[in-house]
Structure 1
Amino acid sequence: MKTNVSIDAHQHYWDPARGDYGWLTPDLKPLYRRFGSGDLAPLRQAAGIERTVVVQAAPTVEETRYLLDLARSDDSIAGVVGWVPLDSSDAPAILDELVRESKFRAVRPMLQDLPDDTWIAHAPLEAAIERLIDLDLAFDALIFARHVPSLIKFVERYPKLRIVVDHGAKPPIRDGIEAGWQPWADGVAQLAALPQKLHCKLSGLATEAKENWSDETLKPYVAHLLEHFGAERLMWGSDWPVLNMNGSYSDWHAAARRLTSHLEKAEQDAIFGANARAFYRL
């Protein structure tokens, strides 16, 4: 892959008929249908996005295999972030199987949906995480601010594991600055300051905002992520089609471009492609 490719570091494909998306119900009408490459292609092409990283949306190995099947015949898919039962003794063997697919690049437990906010600090088996490290696979952390203390313990336990925080740690933007800034802002600062140099996705912010959000709505959150992670550790993602609940691909991409337009070109190129390419080994 050429070094200056524009990459969407976080999007989803799914088919509700598969039956393992517990969160995806008919009540979520804009999302409750099959979404595939044909739906995304015109949107990403209009935004100048050449490749994407497809991320799991169901806590099953079967869905990961489904995504890898799609990736085999779709050049626009640069990598797949899948799901593996990291608290199971079968995890190392499952990882050994999945890594045979060249586009399998990372795993993501759905931490935000687990009933135990401290799960990441104690539940994953050491053998599973060490296998991730041995196979040079990365780890997506889907968290809220309440998960930060447990994630820090996990990071300190496995300093060689490459970790990216999804969706800027999901700030409660809809609550407004006064009500929603803390503890999110301190949590971001704590994670960014760890010596392990975590990465973070500039994604999901529109979803966390109120309807009819604007650049001004998102500006302080983008600025805070830039201040602490820097352009060298942020990567842009659409979170499409979840994004459709509160925005559009073109609107979010354009807003993110405007909110980072003050950066040097090399820094913008890093956020919109180069960092994802390096982090995920695409």
Structure 2
Amino acid sequence: MDKLDAHMHVWQLERGDYDWLTPDLGIIYRDFGIDDVWIEASHAGVSRTILVQAAASAAETDYLLGLAATDERVAGVVGWVDFEAPDAAAQIARRAKDRSIVGLRPMIADIPDPNWILEDAFTPALEAMLVNGLVFDAHARPDLVNVMTSLATRYPDLQIVLNHGGKPPIASRELDEWRRDISTLARQKNVACKLSGLLTESGPYSDDVAIGDVVEHLAECFGANRLLWGSDWPVLNMAGSYSQWVRQSERLIGKHVAGHETATWSGNAERIYLDRTGV
């Protein structure tokens, strides 16, 4: 089965704009390029990927777009624009002219105010995303799930994709609030969800039962047409290998999204991110 990895990062430390990437992160504190994972990825049936920004800078988005222009494995780029810039809407319109740009991701989980994205000042930027057919990739944290519900309600025609299942606190087993918030968010039909980053959140509970419990809830809430698979590589390396996550995902998707495997592995990502016809 052909797979599209809807959430992959690449970075070069010497670029100097990855503020969050520090030596204490151990094995991921080094350069990573697509070639570093592609043997594993291709053996797992992955033929394309969507690169997602990892730095709050226009320069990094330019870097990712440069890769997309020369590497057919890159199906699209989720970039970054400074929403606080006076000309944010114009910047978004300019970015959207590059067909490799499929979405934008403000790094809202790194901003102290959880309601930051709901400020009225960002209305022009969000409307520019909508008009230009760009996906709003939702940087994840459990307490931001309800914020995404508010955003989705305010902009019902804006396609939102929640990263990493909203980062459920699997390791602590305190999932009740996350479950309630996900159920509420999923009622907004303009929101989809990535099955990514879950292994990193699992701590000692990385088995199919514990992670499967989360996947089952996401599948019940969002349905088979609003789930996308992603690796979150190379952050994934902190918890396991690419091959390990693919194999586990195959088991969990086969069980909890049975009959809709193609949609979850590639079809939904193609429709949500790559179909910008008429825009």
Say yes or no: TM over 0.5: yes
SS state at 2:5 partner: strand
1:190 maps to: 184
Task: Answer with 135-144 or 200-209: which moved more.
Answer: 135-144
Question: What aligned pairs does 1:138-157 form with structure 2 within 5 A after superposition?
Answer: 138-157=135-154
1:237 maps to: 230
**Given that residues 238 and 249 in structure 1 are in contact (C-alpha distance below 8 angstroms), is that contact kept between their aligned partners in structure 2?**
yes
1:125 maps to 2:107: no
1:181 maps to 2:178: no
- How far 1:97 moved relative to its partner? 2.4
Query: Any unmatched runs of 5+ in structure 2?
Result: none
1:220 maps to: 213
Question: What aligned pairs does 1:17-96 form with structure 2 within 5 A after superposition?
Answer: 17-96=14-93
1:252 maps to 2:245: yes
**Given that residues 85 and 91 in structure 1 are in contact (C-alpha distance below 8 angstroms), is that contact kept between their aligned partners in structure 2?**
yes
- How far 1:5 moved relative to its partner? 4.1
1:205 maps to 2:198: yes
**Given that residues 163 and 194 in structure 2 are in contact (C-alpha distance below 8 angstroms), is that contact kept between their aligned partners in structure 1?**
yes
SS state at 1:14 partner: coil
Aligned length: 275
Q: For 1:220 and 1:263, how far apart are their aligned partners in 2?
A: 9
Counterpart of 2:6 (choices 1, 9, 13) is 9
Letter in 2 for 1:230: G
**Given that residues 152 and 190 in structure 2 are in contact (C-alpha distance below 8 angstroms), is that contact kept between their aligned partners in structure 1?**
no
**Given that residues 161 and 194 in structure 2 are in contact (C-alpha distance below 8 angstroms), is that contact kept between their aligned partners in structure 1?**
yes
- How far 1:96 moved relative to its partner? 2.4
Query: Any unmatched runs of 5+ in structure 1?
Result: none
Q: CA 1:123/1:41 → structure 2, altered by over 3 Å: closer, same or farther?
A: farther
Letter in 2 for 1:186: R
- How far 1:265 moved relative to its partner? 6.4
1:163 maps to: 160
TM-score by length of 2: 0.94
Letter in 2 for 1:10: H
- How far 1:134 moved relative to its partner? 0.9
Q: For 1:10 and 1:231, how far apart are their aligned partners in 2?
A: 18
Q: Deviations for 1:22-59, whole angstroms, at most 9, x for unmatched residues?
A: 10011112111111121121121111001001000001
- How far 1:100 moved relative to its partner? 2.5
2:103 maps to: 106
Letter in 1 for 2:73: S
- How far 1:274 moved relative to its partner? 0.3
- How far 1:149 moved relative to its partner? 2.9
Q: For 1:32 and 1:263, how far apart are their aligned partners in 2?
A: 34
Q: CA 1:181/1:101 → structure 2, altered by over 3 Å: closer, same or farther?
A: same
Q: For 1:62 and 1:90, how far apart are their aligned partners in 2?
A: 17
Letter in 1 for 2:78: V
SS state at 1:174 partner: coil
Identical pairs, percent = 42
Letter in 2 for 1:127: P
SS state at 2:78 partner: strand
**Given that residues 142 and 165 in structure 1 are in contact (C-alpha distance below 8 angstroms), is that contact kept between their aligned partners in structure 2?**
yes
- How far 1:151 moved relative to its partner? 2.0
Letter in 2 for 1:74: D
TM-score by length of 1: 0.93
**Given that residues 12 and 32 in structure 2 are in contact (C-alpha distance below 8 angstroms), is that contact kept between their aligned partners in structure 1?**
yes
Q: For 2:66 and 2:80, how far apart are their aligned partners in 1?
A: 15
- How far 1:144 moved relative to its partner? 2.0
**Given that residues 211 and 246 in structure 1 are in contact (C-alpha distance below 8 angstroms), is that contact kept between their aligned partners in structure 2?**
no
- How far 1:111 moved relative to its partner? 1.4
